[in-house]
Structure 1
Amino acid sequence: MPSTQIPVRPDVDAHMGSFGKAMNHLDNAATRELDRVDFDARLRELVRIRTSQLNGCSYCVDVHTRDALDAGESAQRIFALPVWAESAFFTERERAALSFTESVTRLANTHVPDADYALVAAYFDPDEVGALLALIVTINAWNAMGVATRAWTPNDD
């Protein structure tokens, strides 16, 4: 299947290099928080994929789908991720994380209501919620850069 060339606007490395480096630092900080609370690697990737699906970042969907598979996630659950709320493949804890992910990602519409926070807080302790929030904020920032600049495209392999 031939690939379509998507024009880059602007080139992140050429026109916002220091910001790109700052994003890497943010990503590393979020990862340290996730590691500190021993946040499940497969759930990390499901959160990254779902956020990227909602934001329309094809590169991040591609990268994090591969990462999820490498972390041991099943293809079946990845395929079901867009309809996780109607799927029996996810635990209640995962569903709380995915619900919170969607609420935070759509915050302009949801304003992350108390009920959404209460649900995630029922399954995650405050440090875990903090790490999850750091993950969601970071992947949303990456998605914003990726979609706005078209700096990265999925691999064809």
Structure 2
Amino acid sequence: MTMKQRINIKRLEPKAYEVLYAMEKYLSATDLSIQLRELIKVRVSQINKCAFCIEMHTKDARKEGETEQRLYALSAWEESPLFTDEEKAVLAMVEEITKIFEHGVSDRTFQNIQNYFTDNQIAQIIIAINQMNFWNRIAVSTKMFHP
């Protein structure tokens, strides 16, 4: 099956991409580790079924020292002993924010993440999750793919 990209938003709206890249630069300067940011990107992309971003960010995660085993287990993180309680708190936020249409973010999930992160870090996590959701929605809606 040959895929054809519908439109190229980066080419059509370069100023919008400038804003997205500026947000990426901001996120790289936050308190969140690169490993945690990559876990967020991969899990959001799995939920959104964004093949383009899954391919990109699993490669990036491996470059940053993430293991194949943890990447394979990421879709079942709740049941996996490979993730810390802190990572699981973040991944619960990933699930609920990415699927916000289902029931929002529960008080339990929000209170749990407060056990591990400051309010500023929680804000950074929320921004990182939503940034990745934005990227996924561009890629999925335009049928972006790696040649």
Q: Same fold (TM over 0.5)?
A: yes
Per the alignment, residue 20 of structure 2 pairs with: 23
Give the counterpart letter for 1:20 in structure 2: Y
After superposition, where does 1:1-157 map in structure 2 within 5 Å?
4-32=1-29, 34=30, 37=31, 39-151=32-144, 153-154=145-146
Give the counterpart letter for 2:12 in structure 1: H
CA RMSD of aligned residues (A): 1.4
Is contact 2:45–2:136 with CA below 8 Å preserved after alignment?
yes
In the alignment, structure 2 segments of 5+ residues that lack a partner are none
Could you tell me how far apart the structure 2 residues matched to 1:83 and 1:19 are? 34
Could you tell me how far apart the structure 1 residues matched to 2:119 and 2:39 are? 20
Is contact 2:73–2:80 with CA below 8 Å preserved after alignment?
yes
Sequence identity (%): 28
Is contact 1:31–1:135 with CA below 8 Å preserved after alignment?
no
Structure 1 runs of 4+ with >4 Å offset: none
Give the counterpart letter for 2:111 in structure 1: A
Could you tell me how far apart the structure 1 residues matched to 2:20 and 2:46 are? 20
Give aligned pairs, total. 147
Could you tell me how far apart the structure 2 residues matched to 1:43 and 1:74 are? 13
Could you tell me how far apart the structure 2 residues matched to 1:95 and 1:146 are? 26
